[in-house]
Structure 1
Amino acid sequence: METYGKILLIAMPAFLLLVLFEKWYGWRRGFDTVRNMDMISSLSSGITNVTKDVLGLSIAIISYGWLVDHLAVLKVPDGWMTYLVAFVVLDFAGYWTHRIAHEYNFFWNNHIIHHSSEEFNLACALRQSISSIVKIFAIFLLPAALLGVPENVIAVIAPLHLFAQFWYHTRHIKKMGWLEYIIVTPSHHRVHHALNPEYLDKNYSQIFIFWDKLFGTYQEELESVPPVYGITRPVQTWNPIRINFQHLWLLILDAWRAADWRDKFRIWLMPTGWRPSDVAAKYPVFKIGDPYHFEKYDPRVSTGMHIWSWVQITFCLLFISYLFGNIATIGSPAMFLYGLYVFLMVYAYTELMDKNPNALAWEIIKNIMGLSILYAQGDWFGASYLGPFIKPLLTAYFAGSTFVVAWFANQFRKERSGLQDAPPSHHLA
């Protein structure tokens, strides 16, 4: 956990700079593919994902170390070949876990967050799951285990393999010639993120595109079919925590409401999107029929709200940077309390971005928790070594953000009241 946290302290600023560069580049070229609130939502999703991972909040059905210890029949030679074998096997495993996440109802809940953006850009690459508590990934590393690839090699290659999937989430790089036949390119991955019927459930590969060609899931990006991004049942929120559990909640409701007992059980492993016929008829869920004619989610907010959202996520990034850099000193169980605060913070400010009436309540709960920690410890998890300004700065932030959010909530209330009080409009035919 500590090592991964240190890696993220380097990776996070790099990813953030690249996301902001893409925003600037698109604006400069007159082809801006990054909406502000969508970008903040994506970055916030990344924050929750890395916090969960650093805190170790997941359970593997079987560990790779156990597989190597009990099943290895060979031992690959030390050196670059070991790392190459590990990389290829990781990519093979990635293809199948990715495909399963798309093709089965239960596993789609672990992946829906990544496809929830209605844009396609570097920021949406950071939309990663917090709902994948139980991991099956190691099962697909069986070839590496049989070859005796050491666990420490997998531990080194795994983050590199993950980070190598970042760059191709962009619309600014067109087709890449002969590389299209070897690696996953932005063109391939635009297809994967599209909701057009021609593109659904295609191009699962993560680094090498030949897995899709080998297993029959490849689709080229067609000039006549421009990709439209998102999912067919749009999430309609900026809150990444709610997005992570929307599909699971629908499955729970559908299983409860189904009249046939067989449907209550089989719904979990049916193809993604399948619902019992009686439930679908009685409780319809909106689904995009025409990918070229639907309204993207984008609640209208003021410039001040955009600026305040950046203030909030900046503070959140500072909070998690301190957590990752000092997790060994913070220790357990304090680090889990810290993680809870981070999750609460993300939930609160993204609810405000959604203009939800309950945003102020979540903000108050978050700030009461922050003040309670600060004054119970007389410090913020030992951060006073950075300087005497920590305690007054955080006190000002917790108190000040409450008043700012209260002001925005009041503005939203007035806006809703004005809409309700407005006389109906009349149009001449």
Structure 2
Amino acid sequence: MQFDAQWLLLALAPVFLACIGYEAWSLSRTRPGASLYSWPDTLCNAALALMHQSADKLAWLVAIPVYAYVYRHFRLVSWQPGWLAWFALFVAQDLLYYVFHRASHRVRWLWAAHVVHHSSERLNLSTAFRQSLMYPVAGMWVFWIPLAMLGFTPTQIVAVVLVNLAFQFFVHTQAIGKLGTLEYVFNTPSMHRVHHARNARYIDRNYAGVLAIWDRMFGSYTDEDEHDPPEYGIVKPLASCNPLTATFHEWLAMARDFARMPDWRSRLAALFAPPDWCERHDALRVPPGGAAQARQRVPENNTEGEFGSRNT
């Protein structure tokens, strides 16, 4: 009987849970009092994982027929089964994941879903479970359509996406230090700690899925600095372990910003510009005497980037 790739993450759940249990036990012995795990945070992560998996199964019902249609009518290559085809699929999907991940920090519509993953002020293996059921609405599945155009079947696409996500589980940890030369090739816990940090030097860096080469090629790599240890979470903390609050708080904020904008151009910007666009828009509208104070305001999310407060 052929294994359905859509169930891969659930099939690996016992492995993930065992790793979480061991990490929690190990950290409690080696770093007592560090509070790297808490029951409310971990249970929130678990609830978000179940919600995400349910939404993902429904999303594949829409996405797979789209991939199949593109594969049948628009594919550019027909691959022979073998290692070369799987290697090409792995590299292509990992590059597209980098594009998706970077866009998720620079486009507010995508950030509204992705912010869930960044909203915990802890980083441990259970944080990998912290995903949003709104990814299908945000359009994550659209980023894999080019794989069908490159000649890969829907089954292959689903499988490689899930393999990529399964690998990423293991980089959500503070228990592993830097890994030497592996840091130049693969995403590592050190790289990913930087990505989850809200320190000014770390925000919007290290988008890698599996391969670290994309961050180095496209200028988004930053090394973890022992003199500036990562502080986790978003710039304005969520301060809630309610999975519904974590899921929808940015969507509600985005809807409020959309509704209060004076024209359609600014309304569309509230949805699709960088996540801190509304913050900068408001700063430009303050009276002259309040300009200095406006520049001190921080975005409501984890992104500052080339359009944000780094340039103020």
TM-score of the alignment, normalized to the shorter chain, above 0.5? yes
* One-letter code aligned to 1:91: D
Matched residue SS, 1:164: helix
Question: Within 5 Å, which residues of 2 pair with 1:411-422?
Answer: none
Q: Aligned to 2:114, which of 111, 119, 122?
A: 111
> Using the alignment, how far apart are the partners of 2:82 and 2:5 within structure 1?
23
| C-alpha contact (below 8 Å) 2:198/2:235 kept by paired residues | yes
Give the equivalent residue in structure 1 for 2:228: 225
Q: How does 1:363-382 map to 2 (within 5 A)?
A: none
Matched, 1:180 2:183: yes
Match of 1:277 among 279, 282, 285: 282
Q: Paired residue for 2:309? A: none
Corresponding pairs, count: 287
The CA distance in 2 between the partners of 1:280 and 1:164, in whole Å, is 45
Quote the Cα distance in structure 2 between the aligned partners of 1:61 and 1:199.
36
**Which protein has greater RCO, CA pairs closer than 8 Å, 6+ apart?**
2
The residue aligned with 1:158 is: 161
Q: Distance in 2 between matches of 1:288 and 1:264?
A: 18
Q: Structure 1 residues 13, 280: CA separation in 2 closer, same or farther (over 3 Å shift)? A: farther
Structure 1 runs not aligned, ≥5 long:
292-429
1:20 maps to what in 2? Answer: 21
Tell me how far apart the structure 2 counterparts of residues 59 and 118 of structure 1 sit (CA, whole Å): 34
3-state SS of the aligned residue for 1:198? coil
Residue deviations 1:26-74 (CA, integer Å, cap 9, x gap): 0111255212221111111111111222344875498222222222222
Tell me the equivalent position of 1:10.
11
Query: How far has the Cα of 1:139 moved from its partner?
Result: 4.0
The answer to whether 1:265 aligns with 2:289 is: no
Structure 1 pair 93–197 and aligned structure 2 pair: CA distance change class (3 A)? same
Whose radius of gyration is greater, 1 or 2? 1
| Aligned residue among 251, 255, 261 for 1:252 | 255
Shift of the 10–51 alpha-carbon distance from structure 1 to 2, 3 Å rule, reads same
Pick the aligned partner of 2:104 from 84, 101, 105.
Answer: 101
Distance in 2 (alpha carbons) for counterparts of 1:17 and 1:280:
53
Q: Identify unmatched segments of 5+ residues in structure 2.
A: 288-293, 303-312
Q: Which residue type is aligned with residue 23 of structure 2? A: E
Aligned partners of 1:244 and 1:6: how far apart in 2?
23
Equivalent position of 1:197 in the other structure: 200
Superposition deviation, residue 280 in structure 1: 8.7
Asked whether the equivalents of residues 59 and 133 of structure 1 are also in contact (C-alpha less than 8 Å), the reply is: no
Change (3 A) 1:182 1:4: closer
CA distance in 1, matches of 2:99, 2:239: 29
C-alpha displacement of 1:157: 2.2
Paired residue for 1:133, among 136, 144, 167?
136
Deviation at 1:118, TM superposition (A): 0.2
The CA deviation at 1:278 is 7.2
Q: Distance in 2 between matches of 1:16 and 1:58?
A: 28
- Report the aligned-residue RMSD: 2.9
Letter in 1 for 2:152: V
Q: Find 1:91's aligned residue among 79, 90, 94.
A: 94
CA contact (8 A) 1:116 1:234 kept: yes
Shift of the alpha carbon at 1:158?
2.2
- Kindly report which structure 2 residues correspond to 1:38-77, keeping only aligned pairs within 5 A, or say none: 38-56=41-59, 59-60=62-63, 63-77=66-80
Is the 1:130–1:244 Cα contact (8 Å) retained in structure 2?
A: yes
How many angstroms apart in 2 are the aligned matches of 1:183 and 1:249? 36
SS of equivalent residue, structure 1 residue 78: coil
CA distances 1:324-381 after superposition (whole Å, capped 9, x unpaired): xxxxxxxxxxxxxxxxxxxxxxxxxxxxxxxxxxxxxxxxxxxxxxxxxxxxxxxxxx
Percent of paired sites with the same residue: 31
CA contact (8 A) 1:259 1:278 kept: no
> For the Cα contact (< 8 Å) 1:97–1:137, is it kept in 2?
no
CA distance in structure 2 between the partners assigned to 1:173 and 1:61 by the alignment: 37
Quote the residue 1:207 is aligned against.
210
Amino acid at match of 1:238: C
| 1:82 maps to 2:95 | no
What TM-score comes out, normalization by structure 1 length?
Answer: 0.61
Relative to structure 1, the CA distance from residue 147 to residue 236 in structure 2 (aligned partners, 3 Å threshold; closer, same or farther) is same
Q: Following TM superposition, by how much is the alpha carbon of 1:99 offset from its aligned partner in structure 2, in angstroms?
A: 0.8
Instruction: Tell me the distance in 2 between the aligned counterparts of 1:257 and 1:65.
Output: 41
Which AA in structure 2 matches 1:277?
D
- Contact 2:71/2:152, CA 8 A, preserved across alignment: yes
Q: What is aligned with 2:291?
A: none
The answer as to whether partners of 1:64 and 1:138 remain within 8 angstroms in 2 is no
Preserved contact between residue 132 and residue 247 of structure 2 (Cα < 8 Å): yes
The residue aligned with 2:123 is 120
Please report how far the alpha carbon of residue 277 of structure 1 lies from its aligned counterpart in structure 2 after TM superposition.
1.0
